[in-house]
Amino acid sequence: MIDLFWLFIRWIHVLAAVIWIGGNLILAMVIVPYFRKNLPPVQRIKLLTHIGKRFEPIVWGCVIILLFTGIANIFEAIDFSASLESEVVSNFMRTLFIKLMLFIALVVLTGLHSFVYGPKLASAIETLDETMDDLPNDIKPFVKKISIVSSMMGVVSLLILLAAVALRMGI
């Protein structure tokens, strides 16, 4: 019975990770490049803002689930009878610490993207004509900033997955 409970917690943890990280990667690798190739910039940014708004509650739901199930996973994964000096425990603590730092970095980047740069860019283009071929020069730095933040989110996401696998392998 207890194994089924931990299986459920682990499943929910991986599910939330897949939805958040997978969603970010699909946006960055498929949707944004497709829009870049096929839509004028103002229309592209407006559509991405709508998509982002729909994805946002899912993302923050995943963040909360990952935090709580992650804390639960710690209790399941650690052998509390083992010495703190043992190699297995110190490797686990080190990799978990790295994973948590990466998790915090990803939450901060996601917050900047959702609550700072995204809304600023959306309001800056609100009144622009959707058929314009190029963005006005004063808007371009916003786009640059948001694409740097998005790339960093992609890199940090991949590093979290690496840390998760390392944790599992006891590295």
Q: Which residues bind ligand HEM (CB under 6 A)?
A: 10, 13-14, 17, 20-21, 66-67, 70-71, 73-74, 77, 99-100, 103, 106, 160-161, 164, 167-168
13 vs 113, beta carbon nearer ligand HEM: 13
Q: Taking the CB of residue 105, how many other CB atoms lie within 10 A of it?
A: 16
10 vs 145, beta carbon nearer ligand HEM: 10
Rounded to a whole number of angstroms, the minimum distance from the CB of residue 74 to ligand HEM is 4
Please state, in angstroms and rounded to a whole number, the distance separating the CA atoms of residues 44 and 85. Answer: 54
Residue among 137, 113, 126, 112 nearest 46 (CA): 126
What's the full length of the chain, in residues? 171
How far, CA to CA in Å, does 80 sit from each of 8, 45, 84, 86, 91?
22, 50, 9, 11, 14
100 vs 143, beta carbon nearer ligand HEM: 100
Rounded to a whole number of angstroms, the minimum distance from the CB of residue 118 to ligand HEM is 19
7 vs 148, beta carbon nearer ligand HEM: 7
Please state, in angstroms and rounded to a whole number, the distance separating the CA atoms of residues 69 and 34. Answer: 35
CA angle 127/132/40 to nearest 5° reads: 105
Rounded to a whole number of angstroms, the minimum distance from the CB of residue 13 to ligand HEM is 5
Rounded to a whole number of angstroms, the minimum distance from the CB of residue 160 to ligand HEM is 5
105 vs 122, beta carbon nearer ligand HEM: 105
Rounded to a whole number of angstroms, the minimum distance from the CB of residue 97 to ligand HEM is 10
